[in-house]
Structure 1
Amino acid sequence: MFNVFVQINWLSVLCAFIPYFMLGALWFTLLFPRSYHLSLGKAMQPQQKPELIFIFGPALCCLVITIATAVLLYALQISTLNDALILATIIGAGYLVANTVNIAINPNIPRPLLYGLISGAYHMTGITIVCIILVLMK
């Protein structure tokens, strides 16, 4: 199993990580900022400059997700675009979206389903991009 790490094209991991992370920046600040803040109950609060943890934390998480996806892609010997899209659907819906909604369902998020929809859709889109890039650069 550990020989999978040797087989991975690490340049493809970097090339997949960057758009996944950048999509998040666009998703939450340009595409859906109003809905995202509404889901958090912060629609009426003035925008603040984000602290570094809100930049580096998601970057690290996206990198870990991308590496884990590459490991699965190589371990499962996925080499076609169709199979990569199936993997993206399994990881996206089965882990990322489900976990995002589960995290959202707590008393601190006033609109958990809206949060789950916005953040889950981001992760579903992001992991699809990741899987496409990883398989095309394999």
Structure 2
Amino acid sequence: MISQLAGLNWVSVLVAFAAYFLLGALWFTLFFSKQYRISLGRENETLPNKPIFIVGPALCSLVITIASALLIYALDISSFSEAWKFSLLVGVGYLFANTVNIAINPNIPRPILYGIISGTYHLVGILIVSIILVTMK
């Protein structure tokens, strides 16, 4: 599968990554800012804006995008229908489930709310990534 790296359309990877990252920025600061802060038990606080909170998610989104591109190419996914099915499998089976699993710890006061907000972001994000990657393949 790693041999697929050379054959990737890297422009599509960068476009998909940018869309995923931008979605995250909007999701957590504009669309669901209040709910996200509530899930963290910080509803009356301003969340910190340190570089790690921008660079870290960006790197993670890039890794997810590259891994998705590798799978899409290796599995020869080439239609919107297949991209949708791939997104549901990866989005629910890995990203959403893993996000909820991470949220279930003593440091997250509202783990289910956090899991729904963050997991849904990843599900929508991977759908956008998959559609861009397949469209530009």
The letter for the 2-side match of 1:114 is L
The letter for the 1-side match of 2:76 is Q
> How far 1:133 moved relative to its partner?
0.2
The letter for the 2-side match of 1:66 is T
Q: Does 1:129 align with 2:128?
A: yes
Instruction: Answer yes or no: is the 8 Å Cα contact 2:2–2:70 preserved in 1.
Output: no
> How far 1:49 moved relative to its partner?
4.7
Name the SS of the counterpart of 2:2 in structure 1.
coil
**Structure 1 counterpart of 2:80:** 81
**Structure 1 counterpart of 2:22:** 22
User: Whole-Å Cα distance in 1 between the matches of residues 80 and 121 of structure 2?
Assistant: 20
Name the SS of the counterpart of 1:3 in structure 2.
helix
The letter for the 1-side match of 2:7 is Q
User: Whole-Å Cα distance in 2 between the matches of residues 50 and 88 of structure 1?
Assistant: 30
**Structure 1 counterpart of 2:62:** 63
Unpaired segments ≥5 residues, structure 1:
none
> How far 1:48 moved relative to its partner?
4.5
Counterpart mapping for 1:1-138 below 5 A: 1-45=1-45, 47-138=46-137
Aligned length, in residue pairs: 137
Unpaired segments ≥5 residues, structure 2:
none
Superposition RMSD in Å:
0.9
Instruction: Answer yes or no: is the 8 Å Cα contact 2:84–2:127 preserved in 1.
Output: yes
What's the CA shift string for 1:113-134, capped at 9, x where partnerless? 0000000110000000000000
User: Whole-Å Cα distance in 1 between the matches of residues 115 and 54 of structure 2?
Assistant: 20
> How far 1:44 moved relative to its partner?
1.9
Matched-pair identity in %: 60
> How far 1:3 moved relative to its partner?
2.5
The alignment's TM-score, normalised by the length of structure 1, stands at 0.97
